[in-house]
Structures are given as C-alpha cells and as structure tokens.
Amino acid sequence: MSSEPVSQADEDVRLRLRSEAKAGECPVSGCHDFPSELLPQRMQVGDRLWCQPHAQMVARMIAERDYEDFLSALRESGITEKPKFVTADVVGDERKCCVPSCEGAFSCGMTFEPFKNPGRAWVCASHAYAVNHAIRRNNGPRLLHEFRHEPRSQDPNNVKRRAAIRKACARHKGTPQYVLAVCRDLQRDRIPILQRWLDGWKVAGFRVEPCNWVDAYRNKTAKPKIQKYIAKVGNAATNRKSYRA
C-alpha cells in the first residue's frame, strides 16, 4: 500500500494514478499491494486490476457520484423525497419504481452500491430520465480522468479547512455534541464551507452563508454530510498519528 493507511477522508486529495501501471501494480501511485480486483463493469473504467482497498474506495466514489446525479435529475423535475432503494433479492414483478408515491412498473434501473446499501434503484418509464442522466455522466471515466490530470485540490481553502477541523476535533473530541462544537470553531474562524456543498444545498432549496457552519449543521439536509466529513477528517488525523507511533 501507500506510505499511509488509506482513508476515505483523503480520497479527494490523495489518490493519484500512475502514468502507466505495469503488470502486478495497482494503478494508484505509491501503492504496493497486489492488484486482484476489477471494478464493476457498469462503472465503465476498463479491465484494469486494482488492489482490494483501492478497488473498494474508487467503486464507492463512483457510486456516490452516480447517486448525486440521479438525485439531481429528480430534484430538477420537482421530486425532493428520497427514493426507495432495494436489495438484489427484489426481482421480477416485485420491482417497482423507487420514486415515492409512484406505483409504476420498472422499466430500467441502476445500483449505487457500495455507496448505498440497499442501493438498487428501479424506475418506471416516466422516471427513466434520472437513470439515463446518471449513466450519461460517465462518472467512472470522469473520476479517473480527474485523478490523472487535475491538481491535488481545486479548492483554495482545502488545506486550511482540514487543518482547522483537525485542530477543533482534537480540542472537542469526547465531549457532548463535539461536532456542533467543531462547527462553532470553524464559524468563529471564518472557515468556508465546501463550495460544492453550498451549490448542492441550493439546488435542494437550502441556502446558507458560506461560513455559517452552525446553521448548516442544524439543517436536516446538510447535517449528515457535515457530520460525516468532520468525523472522517478528525479520524484520519488520529489514524495517521497511530500509524506513525
């Protein structure tokens, strides 16, 4: 593996692909684990082999993008309720449209596993546009292209934000409502929220000032993403310290 334990909190800044992976090499630069897994064919990334941890990580990242694009297409048509996903055990006539209040028979579908579990989304002909939109985004090839060609981060506040979160987590971890306490520190220090979050929340009907972490955390749309991100960044710092000890 790479020189540090793989952490999903660092996915957006650490994964970089080799310019040319040789036989017996994971495509991720710096990884020395034996490549033994293919990504699912639906992810459209070819027949390259990955080590197991990076295969799981990349598959999850692609599935997350597919999921966000699927929801975005539904929201643009006025559907804001969460779709009802099922497991692979639901087959045949049991497959119904995942859009709430729609009883249409399935026409097509896709899966958002391993990001969502259950993660199978079946849609009727009337809602097939959401699946088609997610598929047309080509998120597998798009993500690999970004790994290979984009700078480590396009967010000028990324390093400052993550450092501030690690510092605040170290101060508040173990105290009641520590995530809210971290949000208060970030807001006090005028640390901007990730712009892609603000853009996504705006589409969902929630608007908040760029540094208003507290109000964002109290919103049911924004809270899960903030909780997950702060926990990941804080835990990544803890894991690195343990690894180096």
Q: How many CB atoms lie within 10 A of CB 27?
A: 23
Q: Identify the pLDDT of residue 67.
A: 94
Q: In tens digits, what is the pLDDT along the chain, a chain of 245 residues? A: 333 333 333 344 357 787 776 778 888 888 888 999 999 888 878 788 999 988 998 999 999 999 999 999 999 989 989 999 999 999 888 899 999 989 888 899 999 999 999 999 999 999 999 999 999 999 999 888 888 765 555 677 888 999 999 999 999 988 889 999 999 999 999 999 998 899 889 878 899 999 999 999 999 989 999 999 998 888 764 444 433 33
Question: Cis link prior to 118 (omega < 30° from 0)?
Answer: yes
Q: Among residues 203, 194, 204, 199, which one has the least CA distance to residue 228?
A: 194
Q: Please report, for the chain, the start and end positions of each structural domain, with discontinuous segments joined by +.
A: 62-139, 158-244
> Residue 86: beta bridge partners?
120
For residues 67 and 50, give the distance between their C-alpha atoms in angstroms, rounded to a whole number: 23
> Residue 105: beta bridge partners?
96
For residues 58 and 129, give the distance between their C-alpha atoms in angstroms, rounded to a whole number: 25
Q: What is the DSSP string of 205-223?
A: T----TT-HHHHHTSTTTH
Indicate the DSSP class of residue 82. Answer: P
For residues 31 and 20, give the distance between their C-alpha atoms in angstroms, rounded to a whole number: 13
- Token digits for 65? 């993008």
Q: Identify the pLDDT of residue 154.
A: 63
